[in-house]
Structure 1
């Protein structure tokens, strides 16, 4: 197991706000796939229960964006300490292996992400719970963060995007011919989703040489993700694992039909 011994510092007294910002930047994790997040959280040290729950939300996101290639997984842990009169969140990460340079490359990547987020104006919660909307004035900063995350984990993104590339034509035919599992609106949404996936695959294929995605593509990707969530293809809350969506339904049906 490869471990990062020095903590990643999250310079905020409200780590859940960072978790919410980060969750807005990760629209790449479910493309007709049965994958789940591979975070293994041993615990959060030195904080009360409400803070612990909020930190675990952050740790789920950090575990996700710390990975570079398929076949590795990360475990995360955090603690909050007082530093010169302010609270400081420290995040620790361990990986299954370091064959892809995970432990050596991840600290710079994550610190860069949090440094970028520290420039995003803080928006305190109006009511208890995580903020539900990201204001338009923050979009530019979030697109920059989103681009950095996707380019860091390009190989993993490409793997997930291409996982069922060879089956897209068959999947489209199944959905077009099916008359009982989905109503007309659901069928239309699934077919539109497949068109979006085809477009994403083309962009990723063209970027294989440089392994860099343009900011214009990332902007379109985020907008596409927003369309998917608005229309029930993916959950409104990215970490809501118990929500059954239209894509979950389609995935289970395709598996039973195979």
Structure 2
């Protein structure tokens, strides 16, 4: 039994080491190659350390050629406006579904679930046509409209929080003459703060890392975001990998910082929303 226990413990540590290697290896490659000059990158292996970590030319080149300051500004505007609309829409939908019984409630919930089954690529032609008809193509409004929509996970988390809010609070407010909107805004919405904090973090990371929607709906160069800025260093036949690695490293920093600082809110919000009363 003792030998079996030692073997199992050793196997667990080996699996953990392999998993850690898989997670850490890609950032390591990006980090070491971000400090290499073009000539050094071509003459050395992708895993070797650079001659000097004091070479900041790649980072300066990224900001100058990819206009990273403008890309960060565009990304910031899209994230802020999308989050405001997404939170308002998501909390309102969850409040209506979670607090009231009405005909067609099951159909609405079923529609949200069914929408997750449909492959996104099958609806892109229709979505692209709608964006063009609305004259939103090549504007910041195109991704904002697409990001505002609340998904089923968001609705589910909000609904679990709403179920834990006593209905007596609504009844007391109704007796005092409060309207449904006032109940939502003054009572329900503030109590959804933990769930909102969690979803804001997850949605921010999702928008920040998304490449497909900005690339498809905002091809104009001045509308570039951080995810599409990397493509300025990739051509049809070749790519400037030293600049690409530097750009990836720059883009990774805000995401890593936000996640490390706010990870406890992500875990607490998701687990709290999963607990039923």
| Range of TM-score over shorter length | under 0.3
TM-score by length of 1: 0.27
Structure with the largest fraction of helix = 2
Higher relative contact order (CA closer than 8 Å, sequence separation 6+): 2
Structure with the largest fraction of strand = 1
Question: Higher Cα Rg: structure 1 or 2?
Answer: 2
